Amino acid sequence: MEHTLMDLWYGFGIAMQPHNLMWSVFGVLVGNLIGVLPGMGALTTISMLLPLTYVIAPVPAILMLAGIFYGSQYGGAIGAILLNLPSHPPHAVTCLDGYPMTRAGKGGTALGITMMCSFFAASVGIIVMIFLSPLLVQVAFKFGPTEICSIMLLGLLAGATMSRGSPLKGVAMTVFGLFCGVVGTDVISGTARYTFDLPDLADGLELGAIFMGLFGIADFLMTVNRNPPTISKAKLSMKDMRPTRAEMKEAFWPMVRGTAVGTLFGAMPGTGPTITTFIAYALERKISKTPEKFGHGMIAGVASPEASSHSKTQVDFIPTMSLGIPGDAVMALILGALVIKGIQPGPQLITEHPDIFWGLIASFWIGNVLLVILNVPMIGVWVRLLRVPYKYLYPAALFFICVGVYSTKSSLFDVGEVAVFGIMGAIFLWLDFPISPIALGFVLGPMLEENFRRAMLLSRGDLAVFIHKPISAWFIGACTLLILAQVWAYVQRVRIVPPPVPGSELIAE
């Protein structure tokens, strides 16, 4: 306990170093700025700025990325509430009640409530992270290749089946991501795999190129000349943002419940933030005395999902940092950045790189305070920014993406990769496949393969080892439950909803 507080103090020392603080502030600012812009989520922002991390030291790099992450989450809520534009999927739920509040002239209050909830939830999440991580590490040291394999399997399955859309398609995309991770020289045998004799592919596909292609270019391709953006006429001043005492009271318990939901789900690898916010919203509606008012500007409908997404965000860092298993695509990207920096996330991280771990935790707090301070006076600027037309925005973003990818290795081949993955991403989006499991698969792929091969070597090729080892058996059991639950849900769906009579609309044509 005392030791933990000492570590935390040390972390604040690291985070407050001018150099580190500067990058953290920069990340929060840029994340906030880009998060506000329609059509740009945390993923696009982080992948665009990822190359920046190559030139700076690991600690400020990771602080900056984390800052972008929660900064853009804050920004995303602004777009969702004022414009009904969820630039980041978890905010889709916030739109449901946030936008009606804006239309009722209560947009400022909704934003104020959001800020309050985010700060509260993030603080709780940080505290949980501080006390849970060292415990988790003790368990994590018992993890051999077998256990790592099965928990990764669980994370991948959860990521694949609990994202939006069909679980089967999620699995398909995860496998595609795993395959992308295979491309390049095999670490164990040295064989060049799927490189088509291109020397540029020998080191494997470039993380930044894949992410920017899938989440940047593909998104531009699908959005351009479509969905005319709505223009918000909302005018806001700082005074509007302070909620009244009655509103604070109304928001308090939903905020606490949302935080609890987020914390619970954050500890589970693979459950994305979107599902968390949906569950928090559903819970509020279920226990509310006036469920029919949801969707018409209920404060609880804004407070609870926002709180859950922020506590989830913080707690998500636990499995990412201590086990090396990211909860969602954004975490996968941050993990990738660490790996590029030569730091292997895992149980050793806290002991071997205490500066990164504790500095990061301390910077969360500093960052969240900064966000509150920044957002109160800046809200007028954000509202104006929301009106920047997409037609000016995406060409500029495209250029950033190109330069960003190029600067990674000074390789134009990688820029070509961006285009290829942009096309693939657009095809997948067009065919209604979720794309974030690809990211999860790509980052975990090489680790999964290495650990699986090692586990098989140790067990002399006996697959039953995954069930014989107790920790591993638990994870495999959870995987089985997950699959059974999906199959059950599918069977139920088919039985209840009869397929629409085919041909009925043919007559109309």
- Pick between residue 377 and residue 461 the one whose CB is nearest to another protein: 461
Six token digits for residue 406: 């190029």
Cα–Cα distance between 164 and 93 in angstroms, integer? 13
> Is the Cβ of residue 131 or residue 194 nearer to another protein in the bound state?
194
Q: Exposed, middle or buried, 29 (CB in 10 Å: 0-12/13-18/19+)?
A: middle
Cβ of residue 217: shortest distance to another protein, in angstroms? 7
- Token pair recorded at residue 40: 């740009």
Asked if 328 contacts 159 with a C-beta cutoff of 8 angstroms, the reply is yes
Only one of the segments 78-86, 299-307, 338-346, 412-420 lies at the binding site for another protein (rule: CB under 8 A); that segment is 412-420
- CA angle (8 as vertex; 313, 345 as ends), nearest 5: 55
Which of 63-71, 110-118, 265-273, 421-429 is the region at the interface with another protein (rule: CB under 8 A)?
Answer: 421-429
What's the CA gap between 345 and 229, in Å, rounded? 41
CB of 452 to another protein, least distance (A): 7
Residue 246 or 501: which CB sits closer to another protein? 501
Helix (H, G, I), strand (E, B) or coil at 193: strand
Please give the structure tokens belonging to residue 477: 């059991």
Nearest to another protein of 101, 401 (CB atom): 401
* Angle between helices 300-318 and 58-83 in degrees, nearest 10: 160
Contact track, another protein, 476-505, x by CB under 8 A: -----------------------xxxxx-x
385 is a contact residue toward another protein (CB under 8 A) = no
CA angle 227, 231, 233 (to 5 degrees): 160
Among 389, 477, 480, 492, binds another protein (CB under 8 A): 389
Residues contacting another protein: total by CB under 8 A: 69
The angle formed by the CA atoms of residues 140, 66 and 26, to the nearest 5 degrees, is: 155
226: contact with another protein by CB under 8 A: yes
CA-to-CA dists, residue 157 to 153, 173, 476, angstroms: 6, 11, 11
Which residues inside 175-204 make contact with another protein, applying CB under 8 A? 175-176, 178-179, 182, 186, 188-189, 191, 193-194
Helix axes 273-287, 92-103, angle to 10 degrees: 50
Q: Which DSSP state fits 232?
A: P
Stretch that binds another protein, among 81-89, 125-133, 273-281, 426-434 (CB under 8 A): 426-434
Question: In the window 40-59, what residues touch another protein (CB under 8 A)?
Answer: 52, 55
Q: Which of 6, 57, 403, 484 binds another protein (CB under 8 A)?
A: 403
Q: How far is 483 from 304, CA to CA, in rounded Å? A: 29
User: Which is nearer to another protein, 199 or 461 (by Cβ)?
Assistant: 461
**Shortest approach of another protein to residue 90 CB, angstroms?**
23
Helix (H, G, I), strand (E, B) or coil at 185: strand
Site residues (CB under 8 A) for another protein?
52, 55, 166, 168-169, 171-172, 175-176, 178-179, 182, 186, 188-189, 191, 193-194, 217, 220-222, 224-226, 389-392, 394-396, 398-399, 402-403, 406-407, 410, 412, 415-416, 418-419, 422-423, 426-427, 430-433, 449, 452-453, 456-457, 460-461, 463, 499-503, 505-506, 508-509
